[in-house]
Amino acid sequence: MVEHFLGKEEVTGSIPVNGSSSAAYKHCSFSFVPDLTECHPKLAMMGPTTRSRLWAEVRQISALAAPVALAELGWMSMTSVDTIMIGALGPTAIGAIGIGSSAFYSFAIFGMGLLLGLDTLVSHSFGAGDRQDCHRSLMQGIYLALFIAPPLMLLFTLMPPLFYTLGINPQVSALAGQFLVTLSLSTLPLLLYGAQRRYLQAIGHVRPVMFVLVSANLVNWLFNWVLIKGHWGFRPLGVVGSALSTCLARAYMAAALAGFIWWYERGLSPGLGTMFQKPDFSRLRRLVQIGLPAAGTILLEIGAFGAAGVFAGRLTPVALAAHQIALNCAAISYMIPLGTSSAAAVAVGHAIGAKAPERARRAGFISTGIACVPMSISAVLFVLCPRPILRIYTADPGVIAQGAGLLALAACFQLFDGIQTVVTGALRGLGQTRIPMLVNLVGYWAIGLPAGYGLCFHYGFGVYGLWCGLTFALVIIALILLHTWRRESRAFVSSSLTQWSESGAPVKR
């Protein structure tokens, strides 16, 4: 089974099989590729070599994106497992893990975002065939995880008194504090998992990530069952048991990925022995320079939807419930472009490392096109089948009625949400993370949220006004970032061709 997940046949894109720049390359293959030349005149004008190369790149990026998208769905389902398993303890316990999880993820995701620089550095090195440099970046990512875990854990330990200050129900606050303090023990395993995940994705090995996240849900479910109500001789621990089960699941995730990396690297040269080095502060600085804006982008987007949730909380309970359910539906569809975004970062990085700037530019556009397909499908489903979707969550007629309108608005931004997410990943592969952060800052916080707030509370549109503001923000962000990718990638191709030609380095198409 390990060979199935780490076998050489999985290496996708421009990935050296044996780690050297002169190695042969392997590619994924599909049994059926539609001939679209009849309905696409521009494709018909291409030569057969150009068309086959284009479809090969589409297949490679798709093969890279699909397991990562499934992994993202697995990541999202872990919180759902906790909520389902804790549900029998009543609404106070459900509210407590909701508050505790929100407090944890608000800052833990920022820490995970700091590790996104590994996408860029490792993919560039791997595309160039420099496996030793990949190891150096992985080690510095592990050091970065070790450096940022203690302050995050301290922050989580100090947060519980704030729950009372914010006016949250005292019973909920007490349980949420216990949950958060226990969950803080998972900070280091989570960050170590994050560093190893970025490394594996950047070298094109995405199936282990998918397998680990799916199996971690089973681990989480098992220990929830054992610890929440007490089985196999353990005393019932309630919400603390749920937090402990998450800690154990994350420890499993970190250990399992370490095992996969060891298995894959054990027979290669240079091996993992080259990884163990002292902290390289220049490389750590580079990781932070790339990762900090990327983490900021994540926080700005999460914060915008969180703020919209707070605003919705000032409306009726029905409006708030409709907002939460519609947001969950949109979040599920968002997992596919989120996975494609990681694939875009890796594909662009591999091409840059292989000195193929035009292929890097194509990879960004191809990834964006791939993400548009499932997002268009979800948009159609939100418009044509809103009520069956909403009945999965609730039977309340008022919530279903308002939720149907919100899903229609969600359909309007599906395509743009997919575009902005994937283009952000492509720009990260290029090493550009600052522009997406600034665009998100302006799009959400200077335009979308103020517009939504005004439509909601001053013009009487209610929760629909909030979603109109978010939709407007996503449209603006997507269009600006797509234009940015078009401009930045073209400039990169031009400068790279000039630079590498002058240096005598071979340039690939």
pLDDT in tens, 425-461: 999 988 888 999 999 999 999 999 999 999 998 888 8
Give the end of a domain, one of 231, 253, 279. 279
115-129, 262-276, 336-350: segment of lowest average pLDDT: 262-276
Residue 256 lies in a domain: yes
Give yes or no: residues 255 and 337 share one domain. Answer: no
| Residue at 382: amino acid letter | F
Compare 101 and 487 and report the one with higher pLDDT: 487
Residue 127 lies in a domain: yes
> What are the phi and psi torsion angles at 25 (to 5°)?
-110, 145
236: left (phi over 0), alpha (psi -120 to 50) or beta: beta
Question: Please, which residues have CB within 8 angstroms of residue 341's CB and are 6 or more apart in sequence?
Answer: 367, 371, 421, 422, 424, 425, 426
Give yes or no: residues 274 and 383 share one domain. Answer: no
> Domain limits at 204?
1-23+61-279
Closest to 188 measured CA to CA, from 110, 105, 250, 104: 250
CB 157 within 8 A of CB 81: no
Give yes or no: residues 239 and 339 share one domain. Answer: no
Give yes or no: residues 373 and 400 share one domain. Answer: yes
Closest to 194 measured CA to CA, from 179, 209, 175, 211: 209
- Sign of the CA dihedral 297, 301, 304, 307? negative
Give the end of a domain, one of 279, 307, 341. 279
Give the end of a domain, one of 252, 279, 306. 279
Question: Please, which residues have CB within 8 angstroms of residue 392's CB and are 6 or more apart in sequence?
Answer: none
Give yes or no: residues 82 and 225 share one domain. Answer: yes
Mean pLDDT (whole number) for 29-45 = 39
141-192: per-residue pLDDT in tens? 999 999 999 999 999 999 888 878 767 678 878 888 888 999 999 999 999 9
Longest CA–CA span in the chain (Å) reads 72
Give yes or no: residues 431 and 501 share one domain. Answer: yes
Give yes or no: residues 314 and 439 share one domain. Answer: yes
Give yes or no: residues 328 and 229 share one domain. Answer: no
Residues facing residue 16 across a β-bridge: 25
CA distance 280 to 303: 33
Question: In this predicted structure, what is the pLDDT of residue 273?
Answer: 65
Residue 289 lies in a domain: no
Residue 150 lies in a domain: yes
Q: What is the pTM of this model?
A: 0.77
Mapped onto helix, strand or coil, the DSSP state of residue 459 is coil
Residue 131 lies in a domain: yes
CB 472 within 8 A of CB 448: yes
Give yes or no: residues 377 and 505 share one domain. Answer: yes
Neighbours of 401 (CB within 10 A): 14
Give yes or no: residues 232 and 109 share one domain. Answer: yes
Residue with tokens 């199996």: 215
Give yes or no: residues 374 and 500 share one domain. Answer: yes
152-166, 249-263, 267-281: segment of lowest average pLDDT: 267-281
Give yes or no: residues 299 and 275 share one domain. Answer: no
Neighbours of 98 (CB within 10 A): 17
Residue 442 lies in a domain: yes
Neighbours of 190 (CB within 10 A): 24
CB 321 within 8 A of CB 394: yes
CA distance 132 to 122: 10
Question: In this predicted structure, what is the pLDDT of residue 19?
Answer: 36
Residue 56 lies in a domain: no
User: Hey, which of 127-136, 275-284, 324-333, 456-465 has the most confident mean pLDDT?
Assistant: 456-465
Query: What total of structural domains would you count in the chain?
Result: 2
Residue 43 lies in a domain: no
DSSP 446: I
CA distance 179 to 82: 12
